[in-house]
Amino acid sequence: MKLQDLHGASGFVVADGVSFRRLCDCIAELPGIAFTDRRRFFWGSGDEQAEFTFHGHTFTITCDCWDGDYWVRPKDVSSSPPEVEEIRKHVAQSVMLRKGWFDRLKGCFE
């Protein structure tokens, strides 16, 4: 998994091997998060999107249909709330500590 900060905007990109469901579950573990919308359509990853609130700010998770990365950013892209960094750190710690079943299976053959 890679986390990249968005240049010129507030938010970050989650790339390489984290599923939409895993990302949403990870963010939902952070105290104070309340999802208001979480959709995953069966016909493609480009239709995955979610919206949640944290400390009075609304954030979105959207999929970049070109490379399958997920963008986590404030709904009001002109704002830059400090909560972005708190969410980013939580995602980095949680995803690194909890490997998926594929990662565990891959480790058996190394």
Highest mean pLDDT among 2-11, 24-33, 70-79, 93-102: 24-33
How far is Cα 5 from Cα 17, in angstroms, rounded to an integer?
17
pLDDT at 105: 54
Say which range, 23-27, 51-55, 76-80, 103-107, has the weakest mean pLDDT: 103-107
Number of domains composing the chain: 1
Q: Is 102 helix (H, G, I), strand (E, B) or coil?
A: helix
* pLDDT single digits (tens) 44-84: 555 678 999 999 999 999 888 778 788 899 988 777 778 88
In tens, the pLDDT along 9-18 reads 588 888 877 8
Give the domain CATH number at 89.
3.30.160
DSSP string, 1-49: -EEEEPTTSS-EEEESS--HHHHHHHHHTSTT-EEEEEE--TT-GGG-E
**Torsion on CA atoms 63, 69, 75, 77, rounded to nearest 10:** -130
Q: How far is CA 52 from the centre of its chain?
A: 11
Residue 103 buriedness (CB in 10 A; 0-12 / 13-18 / 19+): exposed
- Residue 23 structural domain: 2-108
Q: Residues of the chain with pLDDT > 70: what percent? A: 70
